[in-house]
Structures are given as structure tokens and as C-alpha cells.
A and B are shown apart, each in its own frame.
Chain A
Amino acid sequence: MVQKVLEIDKLKVGINDDGNKIAIVNGISFSLQKGETLGIVGESGCGKSMTSLSLMGLLPPGVEWLDGDIKTESLHFKDFKKKDWRKIRGKRIAMIFQEPMSSLNPVYTIGKQIMEMILSHENISKKQARERALEMLKLVGIPRPEQVLDEYPYQLSGGMRQRVMIAIALSCNPEILIADEPTTALDVTIQAQILELMKKLQEQLNMSIVLITHDLGVVAEMCDRVIVMYAGEIVEEAQVVELFDRPRHPYTKGLLSSLPDVNEEKEYLSSIPGVVPAPGKMPAGCRFAARCSFAHERCKNTPPLFEVNGSKVKCWLYENGDSEAVL
């Protein structure tokens, strides 16, 4: 029995320049099931980070929530006041970032930074919080955790810092962990260890993960389901096996065919000609059409997200299911 922990409903996020609204994330809908890992992939600038930051109410200054809603069974995030967000952050949804080197505060000890999270959500003593922090360090596999508790971030390596970030994120037992490119800045071997750790903890704690990444190898390794984003929209959503076996959207095909090697993710986009249109300069109709080798007349109109055999594809080729589109 699948249980939805979060439902994103026509979420629209963007710049509101004196009523002149420019969407960065343009009305996307998806849901997150309990215990699953949902991958979000797409070229740089397609709105992955903005999507994940909206889940926490942490959009940067200048970027606003324009429309749509994020829901749990009992909550509508769109009605949230500051105070409501604070109860969600860390407690129900936690986040880890791309840059472990700079995501910890250099002037506080590791212990203090974990305890801060615990103490802000739970009514326990400092001593108990410290014990919990120690447990968390053990949980994420930090060697000599007692000492590390009193050490400063600069004394730890990047991989260790990302472990600490995970310890902080998980210290209040969140239902959802958002990881925005958690391993991009790390060495390949360390990457594998961190992903391994996330997977293990997910099973142990039965949480859902939203994993944002450039790396399709990571997607294959970690995710149950994948969302492919292009220019602020979802162009394809599929189970991970389905996506790799049978990519449908021409953009997804481009991503996969240009995947050179699991360990060399960086250049995979270069083989799709053209560039992503900038927010505010979006073409009418299908946003990928200008770069698409299958583009034709119909693409001047915006395609809906067609449901095809359990997947969703935003492309006219799939108007009649897979039948016409065997290419």
C-alpha cells in the first residue's frame, strides 16, 4: 500500500517583478511516496534547486511562490506563516546541500551544530541533546565520534562533513530528506560511500528522499522513480528501470544517449545541440522543440503530460500512447 507523504500541485515559482511574473518553475505536479527515493534530473538552470527549496519555504530573496500548493495529508504549505515553516524545517523535511565544505558553520563545533537542530525541535535537556548528537555521529559512521563532537568543521574532510550534514539532517527523524547534489563535490569513492550511507539510513528510518542530481549513474543506483525537468517543467516521469530501458521524451533520450560513462557525468549534456531558453524568454508551445530532432507542427502548442503505460511524458509523440512513437 503506497502512502503519499507529499503532494506537489501545479507549483509555480518565479520572479514577481511589479506584477510581471516570470516563472522559473512552471506549474509542476508530482508526489512523493513513503520510503521511496525520487530523483530529479535535468540540465543546469532547469529549476531543480528552486523546486526543492520551495518544499522548505527557503526560496532565495527575489524568487517567490507564485501559484500552486504543496500538501501533506493535513497541511497546505501555501497557507504557511513563518512559524509553520519553522516547524516543518528540520523536523519533517530536512535538507543537505551540494557543498559540504561550506555548509557547516566554521565557528561552531560539530556537536553544537547537531544539538542546535535537536534543541530547536525537541523539548530535551542539553545533555540529552548531546547524547543524541553522539548517537547520530555513530549512526553516520564517523570515526572517533566522541572527539568529533568537540571538533570544528575545518578539522574534517569533505566526506566527513557531508556525513555530519546527514547527521544533522536526520537528527530529528524527518519523514523527508531533500538532497541537492549531495555528492557532486566529492571524490568518486567518497561519493559511493555517502550514497551507500543514505540508502542504508533510508531503509533503517523509512524516510523518503528527494535526490537532485546531474549524475544519471547516481539515479540508476539510488532512485525508485525519476522526474526529468526541462526549463522549469516536468517532461517525463517514470520508474527508474523504465526510464533507462525505455526513455520516451526526446530530451530524456538525449540525456541517456550522451551518457558516456557512469563515472564521467559532467559533459553528458553537450551532445544535445542548443541551449535551454532563459526564464521569461520561453518559446510558445513545447519548450524543447527548438532543440528537438522530432519537432513538427504540433509542437507549436504546449503538449500536456500524457500518461503512457505508467509513465508520464510531455510530448506530442505520445498522444496515442507508445503506438505511434516507436522510433
Chain B
Amino acid sequence: MIAYVIRRLLHTVLVVFAISLLIFFSIRLTGDPVTVMFSAGEPTKEAIEEVRRNLGLDQPLYVQYLIFLKGLVTFDFGESFRSHMPVMDLIMERAGATLALAIGGTIVSILIAFPVGIISAVKRGSIVDFFGRIFSLIGISFPNFWLGIMLILIFAVNLKWLPSSGFEGPQHLILPSITLGMILSGILARLVRSSMLEVMNQQYVSTAKSKGISDWAVIIKHAFRNALLPTITFLGLQFGSLLGGTVIVETIFSWPGIGRLIIDAINQRDYPVIQGGVIFLAVIMVVVNLIVDLSYSLIDPRIKTGGSGRA
């Protein structure tokens, strides 16, 4: 178990290293940050050089990268080119909002997908199943910026029931969470349906039925409980694209999260903030996957992390 966790942590370090390389060099292809920093007038050459020196951009690229790496090790992403605040502080200020959104999106997708998937599977081939599958298809194929805008138009602009931007209270979470959770719920409902169908053919479901317990006890306690494992794996794997989705959703809903922080930073070529934000999201993703893996052993007693004990 401990060896396993250590192995996974080493793996995490490798992943973060790879991402740091990728992000560091790719943003430097987007153009010179200094040229966008002067809002008014044509800056003098000296002024530009001065700024470069201050930001450390006059150094050779590999030196800049090594400095960046050195900071990474101490969880120091440097300072924003713009506000000169430590990047870590900027991120921490916004992490809560993104986390709330990600959790909200996951909850929405679960609330929709579990019932839809379970009922579709149980009533396989029925009209309920048909609508369930149509729903999945719609959920999967509609782009979430479109859904977000529609939700804003209907519930914020026309009905005026819910706020359309910012994060000042729980009611602000509703529309962004639905927007974020919808796509995931389409895929998730499909997955729940197919794992349920598979599990319901298992002999132990027949055993459960032969005990004379209620249909719902058979479906939830025996079938669904076993269908949960692939579902959780999937949710864990999807957490990355969910975080990716927050970037778009945060932009639509003016959500004060990390996604928007990164988008704004990209517009301003604020390298340290982009690097810090992306790496932060990557680390969160890897950690979530690790937690998901470790949680298997809670759901399925056969899995003792470390490999042994599988019958």
C-alpha cells in the first residue's frame, strides 16, 4: 500500500515535470510579453530592455527554465508580471471558486446520470430507456458554452430567477454547475447504463432475486453497488476534462476561478501566472486520480491496493 502510494507520487512528479516543460516553452511561442505591457504610446528601446531585465526575460531560455523549475520545487511560481503579487497567492485566492464549481458540476452530473442510467438499464428497450439515451446523446453533443448561454438567457435574463455572473452565494453556483455537469452527465449516464446491464447479468443478481427481496433492493444494493466501480474510475479520469471545462464555464459566467485567471493571464502574456495556474490544475488532477484509485479498496473488498488478494 505504502509502496504503491510512493510509486504513484513519483509518477506524479514525472508528470508535473513534463507539463512544466511543455507549458514553459509553448507559451513562449505566443509572442513577447513585454510588447503588450505598454498600454499607451511607443515605448523606447531602453524602456523595453529595462522591463526585460526586471522580469528576468533577458536571460537565456534554459536559465529561465531552471529558475522556474527551482521555484516549482519550493512551490513558488514567482510573481505576476502584472500585479507583482506572488502567483501562489493569486491561485489560492481563486482555488476555492474553481473547486466549488468542479464539485458542483460533478454533483449535477451524478444527480442526473445515476437515475437516468439506472432506469434506462432496468427498463431496457422501453420508452424510458429511449428518452434516457436521447438525453445522453444531447448531453454529449451540445457544447457547454452554448448551454451556458442558453441557461443565462432563460434563467437569468428572461425569468430573472438566478444570477448570471460572479460568485457571491450558493445561488450563483447553480447555472455554472449545470453547464459544467451536463456534458459529463451525458457520458456518465451511458456508462452507468452499460455497467448496470453488464452487472445485471451476473449470477449474484439472480441469487439476490431468489431471496425474495424487493426489486429495488436487487437493483440498488446488488447491481448498482457493483456497477459503481467503473463509474468511479470514470469520474476520476474525467476530472481532468471537468477542470478543462471550468475554463470555458468560468469565462461565460465571469466566475472568479483559476480558469479565468489563466485566460486573463494568457491575454496579458503573464507567463508566471499561466505556468503556475496550469501546473496547479495538473497537480490537482493527478492527486484526484490517486485518491480515486485508493478509494477502490473501500468499494470493492477484493482490491487490496498493492496487487495481492485478488481471487
Contact = CB atoms under 8 A, between A and B. Distances in A.
B308 to A, nearest CB: 12
Contacts of B74: none
A153 B300 CA distance: 11
Interface string A72-94: 00000000001001111111001
A90 B207 contact: no
Interface string A85-116: 11111110011010100111111000000001
A91 B202 CA distance: 22
Contacts of B204: 102-106
B94 interface: no
Interface string B201-217: 01110111111111100
Contacts of A58: 206, 209-210
A155 B204 CA distance: 16
B70 interface: no
A56 B299 CA distance: 31
Given A103-B203, A103-B207, A86 B302 contact: no
A168 interface: yes
B306 interface: no
B301 A107 contact: yes
Interface string B246-283: 00000000000000000000000000000000000000
B305 interface: no
Interface string B193-227: 00000000011101111111111000000100110
Interface in B227-253: none
A97 B299 contact: no
A30 interface: no
A165 B207 contact: yes
A58 B299 CA distance: 28
Contact of B302 (A89, A97, A99, A106): A106
A89 B301 contact: no
Contact of B210 (A82, A89, A102): A89
A107 to B, nearest CB: 5
B210 A90 contact: yes
Contact of A155 (B207, B215, B311): B311
B84 interface: no
Given A103-B206, A106-B204, A152 B302 contact: yes
A270 interface: no
Interface in A110-132: 116-117, 120-121
Contacts of B211: 89-90, 116-117, 120, 168
Contacts of A105: 204, 207-208, 222, 225-226
A102 B203 contact: yes
Given A103-B206, A105-B207, A107-B300, A87 B212 contact: yes
A256 B302 CA distance: 44
Given A88-B212, A121-B212, A97 B301 contact: no
A82 B206 contact: no
B45 interface: no
B7 interface: no
Nearest to B229: A107
A106 B226 contact: yes
A91 B213 CA distance: 11
Interface of A: 56, 58, 61, 82, 85-91, 94-95, 97, 99, 102-107, 116-117, 120-121, 152-155, 165, 168
Query: Would you list the 5 A-B pairs with minimal beta carbon distance, nearest first?
Result: A154-B311, A89-B212, A90-B212, A102-B203, A105-B204
Interface of B: 124, 202-204, 206-215, 222, 225-226, 299-302, 309-311
14 contacts: A56-B210, A58-B209, A86-B212, A87-B212, A89-B211, A90-B212, A91-B212, A94-B210, A97-B207, A103-B203, A103-B206, A107-B226, A121-B212, A168-B207
